[in-house]
Amino acid sequence: MAGRPAEPEVIWARPERAGRGPRPAFSRADIAAAAVRIADAEGIDAVSMRHVAAGLGCGTMSLYNYVPRKEDLYELMVDAVSAEYELSEPTGDWRADMLGLAHQTRALMHRHPWVPGLMSPVYGFSPNALRYLEHCMTCLDPLDARYGTKMELIASVNGVVTTYVANEIATAERTRSLPWSAEQEHGVRIGYLLSQVSTGRYPRLAAAFAEDPGPIDLDAVFERALTRTLDGFDK
């Protein structure tokens, strides 16, 4: 395929357009924005070199001069949405700052539901990802820990957020596909669950339901998961 490298390379180390010739008609930002629009509207499976090229008004082969691989396109997309973070001046309270960033990440992933499926350590090398990581490390300056430990903390928090939001998105997508309402589905399932718990075969589950019959505050669960993660690093 034209423009594809023969060896591994980092897209950010590559010129905006390979080879010589006239000034590029599109920037990486243009390409990323077109791909993000498609993913937001139609899902990540709809993102293809052909589809993005059509959105830009160019030929598919021409797009390979800018982006050698589809994986590079994904990396451009993740970097583009990573620019949406509001990286305010750290407050000096590293826990509060990390919680604030986690909530931003959750909101970002809901704006772009395809992001959790593309999360990968390799995307941490992109310009906006590096900007985000440097900001996180600055927020963590008051924490008395090695830099390696701080990187683990950032990864742990992001892992909690990604897993939690991925489940939220999957649940919402399933609900939209049902021929009945979410309330009807929930009612039927809870009814079945209670019928099983009431048999006496599950005494601990029965005690758990008696102690807290619900409904579950999912925002509070999210907050507790983050807090407990931070607790593990607050020594």
The structure's pTM equals 0.86
Q: In this predicted structure, what is the pLDDT of residue 187?
A: 87
Q: What is the pLDDT of residues 67-123, one digit of tens each?
A: 888 889 999 999 999 999 999 999 999 999 999 999 999 999 999 999 998 887 666
Report how far residue 140's alpha carbon sits from residue 60's, in angstroms, rounded to the nearest whole number.
44
Q: Which of 104, 95, 86 is nearest to 143 (CA)?
A: 95
Task: Label residue 213 exposed, middle or buried (CB < 10 Å: 0-12, 13-18, 19+).
Answer: exposed
User: 């489940």: which residue's tokens?
Assistant: 167
Q: Which residues of 23-51 are buried (b: 16+ CB within 10 A; e: fewer)?
A: eeebebeebbbbbbebbeeeebeebebeb
The runs of H, that is alpha helices, within 15-146 are 28-42, 49-56, 60-63, 70-82, 94-111, 115-118, 127-139
| H or E element that contains 147 | helix 147-177
Report how far residue 150's alpha carbon sits from residue 156's, in angstroms, rounded to the nearest whole number.
10
**Sequence-distant (≥ 6) Cβ neighbours of residue 197 within 8 angstroms:** 205, 206, 209
The runs of H, that is alpha helices, within 92-146 are 94-111, 115-118, 127-139
Report how far residue 217's alpha carbon sits from residue 45's, in angstroms, rounded to the nearest whole number.
32
Half-sphere exposure of residue 72, counting CA atoms within 13 Å on the CB side? 22
Q: In this predicted structure, what is the pLDDT of residue 1?
A: 44
Cβ neighbours of 127 (radius 10 Å): 11
Q: In this predicted structure, what is the pLDDT of residue 121?
A: 62
Q: In this predicted structure, what is the pLDDT of residue 18?
A: 54
Report how far residue 139's alpha carbon sits from residue 135's, in angstroms, rounded to the nearest whole number.
6
- In the predicted model, residues of the chain with pLDDT beneath 50 are 1-2
Report how far residue 9's alpha carbon sits from residue 47's, in angstroms, rounded to the nearest whole number.
22
Q: Which of 76, 85, 44 is nearest to 169 (CA)?
A: 44
